[in-house]
């Protein structure tokens, strides 16, 4: 009986789940901090598995800003979204972008973005 239940639990999980890919990012200084634009690709499966955000981090992992993505982008791949007003500490010349999916949470891979 236990094997049967475990098999059902494994089958219930999304077998297609995987991290979003960060294809690129840009940064520009603005009056109220930095404006960061990030381009993502993810094999969206609708509401069950979609890229639902990305964040800007320091090299040490301090979160400087988070962009929440409120819906799937099934028919819009890759797609780019921006976040304004990111407060980057003085002296920091590189930030890191990390993507999130609704199925897997925060990805392990980070994208290096050198500030101009």
Tokens 């009986």 -> residue: 1
pLDDT on residue 32? 83
pLDDT on residue 17? 54
Q: Dihedral angle at the C-alpha atoms of 98, 21, 39, 37, nearest 10 degrees?
A: 10
pLDDT on residue 13? 44
| Closest listed residue to residue 42, CA positions, set 15, 14, 74 | 74
CA gap 48, 42 in Å, rounded: 13
This prediction has a pTM of: 0.81
Ranges of the chain whose pLDDT falls below 50: 1-16
């Amino acid at each position: 009986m236990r094997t049967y239940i475990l098999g059902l639990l494994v089958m219930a999980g999304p077998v297609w789940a995987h991290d979003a890919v960060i294809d690129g990012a840009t940064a520009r200084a603005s009056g109220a901090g930095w404006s960061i634009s990030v381009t993502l690709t993810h094999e969206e499966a609708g509401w069950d598995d979609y890229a639902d955000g990305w964040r800007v981090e320091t090299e040490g992992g301090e979160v400087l800003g988070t962009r929440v993505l409120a819906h799937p982008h099934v028919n819009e791949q890759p797609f780019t979204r921006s976040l304004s007003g990111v407060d980057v500490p003085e002296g920091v010349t590189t930030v890191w972008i990390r993507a999130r999916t609704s199925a897997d949470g925060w990805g392990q891979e980070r994208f290096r973005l050198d500030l101009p």
